[in-house]
């Protein structure tokens, strides 16, 4: 009898042990189904952190320079960063920031560039500037020319970055004088700021000048004719001259 009892208990324990993993698996699968779709878990949190809002402006670094200041204790070294920002829809800005770290200088430069934003006019058809323009800052000069569609941005260095961030897709450029990056940047922004909305305002101004000159020339001509007629009417007939006997100069 004792042997039969022991065998029965062993069989019961084996059945319980075999059934436990199956029950645990079912419970674990049920929990997974409950949590599905709720957005819980580390993986979803990491994905949420990585998602960032789209930036309003794109940034481009023009120059990073290491500058020093002489103080009482020695020299103080910092970084000077020049940054250009733009939305590729006609708005562009330029700023300079100084800091002991590069990232801090970039943040300062972006903040300064947002304060100095300018709006430029573009041709909707050719996606280029409306007319030829020149810009000058100190010893640097820049010439910008409109280009047909498909030509591309024919520029280099700081000028290319500025035009691309401003949204210009077709343009020709030529630099004269100093090639200093900061001076070229300021000359380019000065030129873009002076752009007009008309296709060729210079031609219209010349045409208006020619028309005004012609009208001004015609008016005084009529007055001159009137003055000539009045002078003729005012003149009186000249009195007849008396005959004067000539003295003989023959000497005997």
Which fold is adopted by the domain 133-193?
A: Ribosomal Protein S5; domain 2 (3.30.230)
Residue range 176-189: mean pLDDT, rounded: 96
CA distance 110 to 112: 5
User: Is residue 85 classed exposed, middle or buried when 0-12, 13-18 and 19+ CB atoms within 10 A define those classes?
Assistant: buried
| Domains 58-119 and 133-193 fall in the same CATH topology | no
Residue 163 has pLDDT above 80, yes or no: yes
Which of the listed ranges 2-11, 14-23, 91-100, 118-127 does the model predict with the highest average pLDDT? 91-100
Write out pLDDT tens, residues 35-57: 555 555 555 555 556 666 778 89
| CATH code for the part of the protein at 58-119 | 3.30.160.20
Write out pLDDT tens, residues 191-233: 999 987 665 555 445 545 555 555 555 555 555 555 555 555 5
Q: What is the pLDDT of residue 196?
A: 72
Residue 20 has pLDDT above 60, yes or no: no
What residue segments make up the domains of the chain, in order of their start? 58-119, 133-193
């Amino acid at each position: 009898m004792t042997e039969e009892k022991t065998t029965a208990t062993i069989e019961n324990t084996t059945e319980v042990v075999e059934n436990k993993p199956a029950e645990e698996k079912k419970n674990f699968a049920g929990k997974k189904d409950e949590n599905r779709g709720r957005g819980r878990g580390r993986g979803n949190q990491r994905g949420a952190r990585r998602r960032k809002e789209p930036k309003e402006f794109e940034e481009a670094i023009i120059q990073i320079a290491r500058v020093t200041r002489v103080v009482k204790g020695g020299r103080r070294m910092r970084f000077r960063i020049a940054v250009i920002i733009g939305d590729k829809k006609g708005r562009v800005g330029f700023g300079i920031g100084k800091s002991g770290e590069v990232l801090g200088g970039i943040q300062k430069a972006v903040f300064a560039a947002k304060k100095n934003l300018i709006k430029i006019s573009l041709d909707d058809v050719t996606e280029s500037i409306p007319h030829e323009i020149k810009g000058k800052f100190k010893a640097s000069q820049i010439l910008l020319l409109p280009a047909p569609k498909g030509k591309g941005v024919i520029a280099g260095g700081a000028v290319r970055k500025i035009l691309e961030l401003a949204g210009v897709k077709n343009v020709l450029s030529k630099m004269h004088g100093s090639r200093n990056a900061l001076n070229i940047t300021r000359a380019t922004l000065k030129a873009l700021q002076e752009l007009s909305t008309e296709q060729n305002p210079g031609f219209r101004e010349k045409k208006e000048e020619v028309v005004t000159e012609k009208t001004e020339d015609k008016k005084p001509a009529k007055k001159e004719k009137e003055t000539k007629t009045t002078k003729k009417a005012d003149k009186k007939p000249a009195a007849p001259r008396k005959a004067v006997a000539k003295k003989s100069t023959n000497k005997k």
